[in-house]
Structure 1
Amino acid sequence: MKKQLLHWVIALTLTTTYAQTDFRSALLAADGIEFTEYWNIYKDDDGKQQITDPRYKVHLVAIENAFGKVVGFDAIDTSNDKKRLFYNYEDDRLDHYGKPAFITNIETKRGYALIEGVLFEFTGLETDGTGFTIDALWFPAGKDTAGKKKKKLSFKEKLKRLKSQMGGGNPLVGAFMEKDLDQMVSEYFTQMKNLQEAHPLTPEEQNEVRAMTAKVDQRNAEIQSKNAAYWNSEEGKRVRQQMRADSGKATTWHIKNGRSSAVSVGINGQTKTLQAGETWTISCQSDAFFAHKESTQWVHDGLIGKGSENCGSTFTIQ
């Protein structure tokens, strides 16, 4: 009974910690918070949500436009200052300039939203909020309190900290594993759509959007002009001719898990856990290895296959 009460209190605390808000406000609120990426998001054979494989730890840095409005962000690795995620001012778009719910790239369809304090990373996200697949989740660790006087914790806060210490990880991850994540995202997008309809852009905001669009259009025109000049040059013509000659050649190969259980596969510093029957498409320049995890690091075992030998074909793991 005590254990059930503990779980209930923790879940209640976590779900009420972050107020639902628009993407811009959520980014500003994330200042000083470290986020950890969990890149393996899937449902197991019983349909239970799984969130595994923590990887990068980052701080989110809000990017402002010329009018002082936050329009995107960079994610800076806390260990080496590398940009793990970065803002592309030409192709990244907020779904609404005044009350944005998310940002997505109009070319790659990779997008992001901050929902209940967690950064959702999507693939296939259209500008209208449809077509998304949750590719990764970035969970907050809490604000930096170094040098600050520690406050007295409430009963709920003590339970939350205890659960985190007992589980050896972020308790928010466990709470999200109990949620229907796709439904959670859809409901948030619907709520934000209603908010956007209730707050149409002001004349000032409309002028800012037009100015930003004009700047991007000007930049794109400059790029197109330079590209045209290159492809019309002698070097450009030679490169184009070679590209046409190579166009019929395969550039990827496929690894299929033919076993009845999951298999972890590693390539060039990247590891993916393939569920039974799942296929992974990789570059012909990459060799694939069996992999297992030691502590927090992935270790490669035996060779599965070489990209140069399997290019254009499917290798089935038996």
Structure 2
Amino acid sequence: MKYIILFFIALVTTSTFAQNTIFENLEQHGDSITYLEYGAIRKDNKGKLYAHLNPGRQPEEVQIKIRRHENIPCGIEILSVSEDGEQSVKYWQDMTKQTYIDLINYPFTSIAFHNGYYEGYVAIGNYVFFIKDFKSKTEFGEISRVYVLKGTTPEGEEPAKKKKKKKFGKFLSKVKDVALNTKSEVDYTKAPEYKALMSQDNKKMITDYLVAMKAKQAAHTTTAKEEADLEIVKAEGKKYAEYIKTKNDAYWQSPEGQKTLRVWKLRDQHKASCPKTAESCDSSYH
């Protein structure tokens, strides 16, 4: 059985280098702010870094929100937004709805631990990174997805303010509208958000943040209120784990569950005794 390690890494505002938790950062931006989702940061055949998107695609617009239990931040969710404004959860991590999970370094949450492989979110300024293959609290392998606050420019952290439109002739206005609405012809690498993302050493920025946050976590003495909040979240996670176990036990003890177990047992016996390989044996037990 695979388990998931979820890292919820706090962020640093790049202009002031102050470390904030991922929850504080999202609170500063608010629930209605739009992010642009890019794929993994990779190198092309010339060694140049780029953020991956499938050919002909544009970065999806999403919103990132905090999940809470009794007003205590306990996770995040990333929501797709349809053209008519409907929202649907695309990704979520909730410390009260995933078994064998724990908060580490609360309230300066840098890791939400779940046994198995290592992955999680790092938030820095206007950027949220989804990272895989953590080696430790400060070392990691791949930047698998990136979310950039819509309107971010290379020159500053704040989203660019929309300039007042100048009046154009009808012909020029129509040409402009066609160009803006023809997504397949728009080069996303020319967008200010993409330029802002690629104008910096993202891996170094993340590593520097993790190192600084680790030091901040080590220097903090947890208060009684923080310990109580942590216990509330842990208790809810434990309650959910018990609920899942009860449901699973009820299934395996039911006639349907017992039938499934018998089939699995017969398959294991067949594999142990069959002289043929899975490719050559015509039995469904392979």
Equivalent AA in structure 2 for residue 63 of structure 1: R
Mapping 1:196-207, distance limit 5 Å: 196-207=217-228
Partners in 2 of 1:133 and 1:174 — Cα distance?
Answer: 20
Greater alpha carbon shift after TM alignment, 18-27 vs 28-37: 18-27
Task: Give the SS at the match of 2:52.
Answer: strand
Quote the residue 2:178 is aligned against: none
Q: Is the 8 Å Cα contact of residues 37 and 57 (structure 1) preserved in structure 2?
A: yes
Partners in 2 of 1:151 and 1:176 — Cα distance?
Answer: 20
Partners in 2 of 1:238 and 1:189 — Cα distance?
Answer: 50
How far residue 26 of structure 1 moved from its aligned partner, in angstroms, is 0.5
Matched, 1:84 2:90: yes
Deviation track 1:173-222 (CA, whole Å, cap 9, x = no partner) reads 22332433322222111111111122221111112212221222232123
Deviation track 1:44-74 (CA, whole Å, cap 9, x = no partner) reads 23332111324421111221221x2322222
Equivalent AA in structure 2 for residue 82 of structure 1: S
Deviation track 1:263-286 (CA, whole Å, cap 9, x = no partner) reads xxxxxxxxxxxxxxxxxxxxxxxx
Quote the residue 1:138 is aligned against: 147
TM-score (norm 2): 0.63
Partners in 2 of 1:104 and 1:35 — Cα distance?
Answer: 26
Total equivalences in the alignment: 218
Matched, 1:65 2:69: yes
Quote the residue 2:109 is aligned against: 100
Partners in 1 of 2:224 and 2:16 — Cα distance?
Answer: 35
Partners in 2 of 1:246 and 1:133 — Cα distance?
Answer: 38
Higher relative contact order (CA 8 A, sep 6+): 2
- The 3 A distance-change label for structure 1 pair 186 and 221 is same
Matched, 1:176 2:175: no
Quote the residue 2:256 is aligned against: 235
How far residue 15 of structure 1 moved from its aligned partner, in angstroms, is 6.1
Partners in 2 of 1:190 and 1:75 — Cα distance?
Answer: 26
Partners in 2 of 1:180 and 1:244 — Cα distance?
Answer: 53
- The 3 A distance-change label for structure 1 pair 123 and 138 is same
Matched, 1:120 2:141: no
CA RMSD of aligned residues (A): 3.5
Equivalent AA in structure 1 for residue 43 of structure 2: K
Partners in 2 of 1:217 and 1:55 — Cα distance?
Answer: 37
- The 3 A distance-change label for structure 1 pair 152 and 219 is closer
Equivalent AA in structure 2 for residue 114 of structure 1: A
How far residue 106 of structure 1 moved from its aligned partner, in angstroms, is 4.5
Partners in 1 of 2:189 and 2:50 — Cα distance?
Answer: 17
Q: Is the 8 Å Cα contact of residues 118 and 137 (structure 1) preserved in structure 2?
A: yes
Q: Is the 8 Å Cα contact of residues 95 and 127 (structure 1) preserved in structure 2?
A: no
Task: Structure 2: state its 5+ residue gaps.
Answer: 1-12, 153-160, 165-185, 272-286
Partners in 1 of 2:254 and 2:132 — Cα distance?
Answer: 37
Greater alpha carbon shift after TM alignment, 228-237 vs 26-35: 228-237
How far residue 118 of structure 1 moved from its aligned partner, in angstroms, is 0.5
Matched, 1:56 2:77: no
Q: % of aligned pairs identical?
A: 23
Q: Is the 8 Å Cα contact of residues 62 and 80 (structure 2) preserved in structure 1?
A: yes
Q: Is the 8 Å Cα contact of residues 33 and 142 (structure 1) preserved in structure 2?
A: no
Partners in 2 of 1:44 and 1:166 — Cα distance?
Answer: 17
Mapping 1:1-318, distance limit 5 Å: 16=15, 21-31=20-30, 32-53=32-53, 54-66=58-70, 68-79=71-82, 80-88=86-94, 89-91=96-98, 94-101=103-110, 106=115, 109-125=118-134, 128-142=137-151, 169-243=190-264
Deviation track 1:238-297 (CA, whole Å, cap 9, x = no partner) reads 212334566899xxxxxxxxxxxxxxxxxxxxxxxxxxxxxxxxxxxxxxxxxxxxxxxx
* Larger strand percent: 1
Task: Structure 1: state its 5+ residue gaps.
Answer: 1-13, 144-149, 154-164, 250-318
Q: Is the 8 Å Cα contact of residues 18 and 116 (structure 1) preserved in structure 2?
A: no
Partners in 1 of 2:104 and 2:18 — Cα distance?
Answer: 20
Partners in 2 of 1:246 and 1:141 — Cα distance?
Answer: 53
How far residue 132 of structure 1 moved from its aligned partner, in angstroms, is 4.5
Task: Give the SS at the match of 2:150.
Answer: strand
How far residue 93 of structure 1 moved from its aligned partner, in angstroms, is 5.1
